[in-house]
Each structure stands twice: as structure tokens, then as C-alpha cells.
């Protein structure tokens, strides 16, 4: 058995008039994430962690944000395409641990929904997926509500 680890991080600015989509789940909130695609910071960090573990570069290379194909794109497309590349290389996801950093909204009730959705998108048992949430403790760009971030580690095996 071979193993690989990967780390993904993504930050997006929060503004009024944009949807807030995290892990493929739409979360009702006055503000949402700015980006070329749907700006799903959690799926972007996860995609980057998967690409990184498999030695496949990063999301910016795979899905350039100046490519009109990805304007307003559903980030599940990025995850799906990445999972196909991993499958072609016979990599399987062992587990995923994610942190969402957001001063607002409160994500307590949403973590389980996001986790279930990730499990579905990755065709993995929920036990192998974990979603945590942290506020910014009122400091820095997360704490001031200027942005939201996600950080993800993954373990692969084949």
C-alpha cells in the first residue's frame, strides 16, 4: 500500500449580493463569496488538497480563473474532474479533514449538511469525512468578516 498526503487552502472575500456556497451547499446569508466560479472556498481547498497529494499541481493550473468556461462555474465540476484524474492513477481517498474559517454566519447547523454532501460527492462513508468550523475570533481579515477561508488535509492510498 502506498500513501500520500495533501494540503489545500482557499480564501475568498465576502460581499453583499453574492451567494454563499460551501462544500456544494447553498447557505442563506446576506453576504457571499467573490470569485470567477461559484467561489466555493471549501471545494476549492479540497480540490487543491487532492491535486496536491497526487502530485497534480493546483486548481489554478487545472481550472484557470481567466478561462471563460469556468465563469460562474459550479465548483463540483472541479472536484469531479479531479476525482476522475485520481481514479485513473488508482488513488483512493482514505479521509478528509476540513476547517471552515468564518466569523459569520454561524456554521454549527451546516457542518453536518456539508459533511453529508461531501460524502455523497466523494462516494465515501461520512466517517471518512470531517468538517470543522472556526470563527476568526474577531481578529484579522476573517475576524473582521472581510473574507472566509477553508483548509483541508487529505490522505490517499493505492
- Binding residues (CB under 8 A) for a copy of itself: these are 2-13, 34, 48-49, 51-61, 94-95, 97-99, 101, 108, 111, 126-134, 136-141, 143, 146-147, 151-155, 157
Rounded to the nearest whole angstrom, what is the least distance from the CB of residue 143 to a copy of itself in the complex? 7
HEC secondary structure over 49-67: HHHHHCCCCCHHHHCCCCC
Smallest distance, Å, CB 36 to Mg ion?
A: 8
Instruction: Output the smallest distance, CB 120 to a copy of itself, in A.
Output: 15
Contact 38, 143 (CB under 8 A): no
User: Does 115 contact Mg ion by CB under 5 A?
Assistant: no
How far apart are the C-alpha atoms of 15 and 147, rounded to whole Å?
8
Q: Which does 141 bind (CB under 5 to 8 A by kind): a copy of itself, Mg ion, none?
A: a copy of itself
Q: How far is the CB of 157 from Mg ion (least distance, A)?
A: 27
- Region 6-45 residues binding Mg ion, contact defined as CB under 5 A: 10, 44
Q: Is the dihedral of CA 15, 13, 65, 129 positive or negative?
A: negative
Residue with cell string 476525482: 83
Degrees, nearest 5: CA angle 145-76-48 = 70
Binding stretches for Mg ion (CB under 5 A): 10, 44
Amino acid at each position: 500500500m502506498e500513501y500520500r498526503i495533501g494540503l489545500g487552502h482557499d480564501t475568498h472575500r465576502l460581499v453583499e449580493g453574492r451567494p454563499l456556497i460551501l462544500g456544494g451547499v447553498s447557505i442563506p446569508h446576506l453576504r457571499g463569496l467573490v470569485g470567477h466560479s461559484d467561489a466555493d472556498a471549501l471545494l476549492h481547498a479540497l480540490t487543491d488538497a487532492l491535486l496536491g497529494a497526487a502530485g497534480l499541481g493546483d486548481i489554478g493550473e487545472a481550472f484557470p480563473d481567466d478561462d471563460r468556461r469556468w465563469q460562474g462555474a459550479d465548483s463540483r465540476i472541479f472536484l469531479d474532474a479531479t476525482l476522475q484524474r485520481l481514479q485513473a492513477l488508482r488513488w483512493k481517498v482514505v479521509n478528509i479533514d476540513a476547517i471552515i474559517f468564518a466569523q459569520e454566519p454561524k456554521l454549527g447547523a451546516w457542518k453536518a449538511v456539508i459533511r453529508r454532501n461531501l460524502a455523497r460527492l466523494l462516494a465515501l462513508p461520512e466517517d471518512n469525512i470531517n468538517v470543522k468550523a472556526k470563527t476568526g475570533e474577531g481578529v484579522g481579515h476573517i475576524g473582521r468578516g472581510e473574507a472566509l477561508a477553508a483548509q483541508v488535509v487529505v490522505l490517499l492510498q493505492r
